[in-house]
Amino acid sequence: MTKVVKFGGSSLADAKQFIKVADIIHADDTRRYVVPSAPGKRFADDIKVTDMLYATYDLAAKGQNFSESFDAIKERYYGIINDLGLDLSLETEFETIKACFIGKAGRDYAASRGEYLNGIILANYLGYEFIDAADVIFFSESGVLDSKKTAKVLGERLSQIERAVIPGFYGSMPNDTIKTFSRGGSDITGSIVASAASADLYENWTDVSGFLIADPRIIENPEPITTITYKELRELSYMGATVLHEDSIFPVRKAGIPINIKNTNKPEDPGTMIVESTSIKPRFTITGIAGKKGFSVINIEKDMMNSEIGFGRRVLEVLEKNGICFEHMPSGIDTMSIIVHQEEFEKKEQEILAGIHRNAQPDVIDIETDLALIAVVGRGMKSTRGTAGRIFSALAHSHINVKMIDQGSSELNIIIGVSESDFEVAMKCIYDIFVTFQL
């Protein structure tokens, strides 16, 4: 049995957190490969080391004095080293990094040093081997992960090492420069390492006990999600439920490895298991609810629209030409509504309206703004009658007008559009009907 364990920035923000991490690793012999993030925030107003590195590099790149800013970064690392009582010097590394900053090695290089240095410290503290991610994670010329080369080199390397620390977030380009994933990308590294190690489980340790059924900023103390499928997760993350980097799903999903989201500060909590499929019945009919504000609807009417071949294509072509993607497209016989992100749409509004008039000659176009979308997601809905009915009667009881409904053919989700001013109340009444009243 092999587990790959990834620890996020808040799990490695200071020596106190490092001790918790080591306890977690030592508590289970199968936790063989460890992927750390850079030190994150120690308290609410603290600054993540990654952000300090970006800011320091920006000063260096502009030719300004960056010593003070650089020293603050050194202090973060030496704080950890000293508080752990390690006999470790990072002076050579800091000298090299400074020289590379002056030599304008790039923002990606700068940011990657956060994980690199934290990896060296963690490997030293655990007594594990350190593998530089630049030697085992590769990007292609176009900047996307070279999964073939990575799987081969990383897989071979891991097969020869019993236990190792591999820093997250970066890899190398064909010309040997450093490239990072997008922010939060250590999750992706963890997933790649899990796949290359043919791990049985990818544990992703963070500062929450997994996913919650709803956003705790809207619902007080929501129940946790114990098991969720990849598909459900995709629906919920799309609507804003973020715990895990979206791109981190693919490598493990392809290899059939489940992910367990765990809380470093409460390791006894079971967290959330993310799986391909499961026979475990969800506790409630729904697995989760998530939502977002900030949508607009373009309502288009035209007599005999349904028999006009190519009408939809002509309308959508206008969006495509203007670089706007649409979210949903509920339609009637002679009407079609297109839901778009308000902020993006506003910038191109008149070009789009003129384009639709020109391309499709509609009778009426009308725009509605300030719409919120709510996704009610759950594999349990498929076999349960009346889910939609319960949602709509709950909303009606709370005097909420439903502006749009969209149910995917997978029956995995029901998307509801409501006015932004109704958003919080709508979320709450849906949560209550499926969760609170069932407890």
- Least distance to ligand ASP from the beta carbon of 45, Å? 16
Tokens of 354: 């003129």
301 bridge partner residues: 335, 364
Among 13, 17, 24, 114, binds ligand ASP (CB under 6 A): 114
**The one segment of 25-33, 75-83, 185-193, 309-317 that binds ligand ASP by CB under 6 A:** 185-193
**The one segment of 25-33, 66-74, 177-185, 430-438 that binds ligand ASP by CB under 6 A:** 177-185
289 bridge partner residues: 376
Amino acid making up residue 149: K
184 near ligand ASP, judged by CB under 6 A: yes
242 near ligand ASP, judged by CB under 6 A: no
3-state secondary structure at position 400: coil
Residues numbered 121-140 forming contacts with ligand ASP, rule: CB under 6 A: none
Kindly tell me which of 50 and 209 has the beta carbon lying closer to ligand ASP.
50
Rounded CA-CA distance 406/417 in Å is: 9
Tokens of 144: 């996307």
Kindly tell me which of 262 and 379 has the beta carbon lying closer to ligand ASP.
262
38 near ligand ASP, judged by CB under 6 A: yes
What is the total count of residues that contact ligand ASP (CB under 6 A)?
13
186 near ligand ASP, judged by CB under 6 A: yes
Kindly tell me which of 166 and 352 has the beta carbon lying closer to ligand ASP.
166
Kindly tell me which of 118 and 413 has the beta carbon lying closer to ligand ASP.
118
**The one segment of 13-21, 184-192, 308-316, 386-394 that binds ligand ASP by CB under 6 A:** 184-192
**Per-position b or e across 393-404, b if 16+ CB within 10 A of its CB:** ebbeeeebebbb
183 near ligand ASP, judged by CB under 6 A: yes
Q: Cβ(202)–Cβ(191) under 8 Å?
A: yes
Q: Cβ(106)–Cβ(86) under 8 Å?
A: no
- Do the strands 413-419 and 178-180 form a parallel or antiparallel pair, or are they unpaired? unpaired
CA 210 centroid distance within chain: 13
Q: What is the DSSP letter of 345?
A: H
168 near ligand ASP, judged by CB under 6 A: yes
50 near ligand ASP, judged by CB under 6 A: yes
Please, which residues have CB within 8 angstroms of residue 165's CB and are 6 or more apart in sequence?
A: 33, 34, 35, 36, 119, 122, 123, 126, 128, 129, 130, 131
**The one segment of 61-69, 180-188, 248-256, 259-267 that binds ligand ASP by CB under 6 A:** 180-188
Sign of torsion, CA 185 208 265 257?
negative
The residue number with the shortest CB distance to ligand ASP is: 186
311 near ligand ASP, judged by CB under 6 A: no
Residues that bind ligand ASP (CB under 6 A): 9, 37-38, 48, 50, 114, 168-169, 183-187
